[in-house]
Structure 1
């Protein structure tokens, strides 16, 4: 298990280039789990007698779990409590993770490149700690200085808290930390924290904007591109 309390010293290539760190989302960004989350939600609500649609998916993609539960409760009228639904969805998701988690195209190459050039990285997710720890078995905890879980921060995405906490722990300026995200919720959190963003949409579309680069795949993300986003920002 990793925590979000001990400061991490920035060093290596990150200082010299202007790029101090890269903060990465997990679900749908580095690992192909968005389909698994959706399947867990569909399975659970089918068992409760409710059929979820593709339109519902656009409302729940990217979490956090509190927003997902609020939406699905209003949508279906279920009488189960938020705590019960959270436990059931997380439980079904863990079951679906049993076969391992596939990495998104380009994820391993990007993480290896950042490590080779000494650029500090942190994993910043709306998923809860026990989910992150399971996914890290496939993704590799060694790729990250630390990880930030959605149940370890006062407010999770779309609030800026997770990214501000990650930058602070690295001793970094948020404007010099590039965030890599896949959902509008995550992009909103990163931009509220003052970070430049690379968005690689998974389910819901994301439009380009100032300080935000939208790409079709992580395979298009390299160190020069990340440095360029910081230079343009600062």
Structure 2
């Protein structure tokens, strides 16, 4: 399944598609408009260390685990700070920036409300740490998620498949019947490694359609009927689905 969708109403074939067992959603840049705030936190901390971040580095660090992003920025700038010292600074500065409510991405509230109203098992899967997730959940609404997976709660976070495999298992669902919604290449790689069909809604850097991956311009074009069509019949995924 390779497609890019301009709009979604009620797609043909929704009734005949295999069952959707869960929806696994990334947080930053997918549901909440925070990718720019992460970059602002990183830029501010490194400015205090005497370094100016190159805008080109933003696409490299977006969507990745904190340790990878922080390590990359230290190595790129040559800043005199250790990884263990930098990570708490970044988390604290970001927490200050999201004090109060966090802006949601267009269409996020409507989609979460629809999934909840129809009883679709839903999980929040983020590379952000637990303290960040719990604060942002106040804006998203914790009632919309059966479970949440934080980046500091798994041994290997995105781009490894572990977070999405853990989320699917927590929902009691087959990963091949769970649609993942992501905004970055790192997150898409994690979801695809877990065997999940992917809906990419790019935020900072473009993502191309590919087999098993659909690209949408925003969540405004996405609804439950469309998500159900992304669960490919067994002959399309090349593996048996019981």
Q: Distance in 1 between matches of 2:70 and 2:99?
A: 24
Residue correspondence of structure 1 range 64-143 to structure 2 within 5 A: 64-143=65-144
CA deviation vs aligned residue, 1:122-177 (integer Å, no higher than 9, x gap): 00000000000010111111100010000001100000000000111111110000
Tell me the residue number matched to 2:158. Answer: 157
The structure richer in helix per residue is 1
Please give the alpha-carbon distance, in whole angstroms, between the structure 2 residues aligned to 1:108 and 1:17: 26
Which whole-Å CA distance do the structure 1 matches of 2:224 and 2:141 have between them?
Answer: 20
Pick which of 224-233 and 104-113 moved more: 224-233
Which runs of 5 or more structure 2 residues have no equivalent in the other structure? Answer: 1-16
Post-superposition offset of 1:231: 3.5
TM-score norm. by structure 2 comes to 0.88
Give the distance between the partners of 1:153 and 1:138, measured in 2 at CA.
Answer: 24
Q: Distance in 2 between matches of 1:166 and 1:95?
A: 28
* Structure 2 residue 148 is the aligned partner of structure 1 residue 175: no
Tell me which residue corresponds to 1:7: none
Q: Which residue of 2 aligns with 1:63?
A: 64
- Structure 1, unaligned stretches of length 5 or more? 1-15
Structure 2 counterpart SS, 1:179: strand
TM-score (structure 1 length as normaliser) = 0.91
**Contact 1:18–1:231 (Cα < 8 Å) also in 2:** no
- Is the Cα–Cα contact under 8 Å of residues 164 and 174 in structure 1 kept in the other structure? yes
Partner residue of 2:7? none
Tell me how far apart the structure 2 counterparts of residues 72 and 122 of structure 1 sit (CA, whole Å): 30
Whether the aligned pair in 1 keeps the contact of 2:25 and 2:122 (CA below 8 Å) is yes
Contact 2:197–2:230, Cα closer than 8 Å, also in 1: yes
Tell me how far apart the structure 1 counterparts of residues 113 and 35 of structure 2 sit (CA, whole Å). 23
Secondary structure in 1 aligned to 2:214?
strand
- TM-superposed CA distance for 1:17, in Å, is 5.5
* Structure 1 position 34 matched with structure 2 position 35: yes
Matched residues in 2 for 1:213 and 1:62: separation? 18
**What value does the CA root-mean-square deviation take over the aligned residues?**
1.2
Aligned residue for 1:98, secondary structure, equals coil
Task: With a CA cutoff of 8 Å and minimum separation of 6, indicate the structure with the bigger relative contact order.
Answer: 2
Q: Measure the CA separation in 2 of the matches of 1:45 and 1:105.
A: 31
SS at match of 1:231: coil
Cα deviation digits, residues 184-219 of structure 1 (max 9, x gap) = 000000000000000000001111000100111001
Q: Secondary structure at the match of 1:84?
A: helix
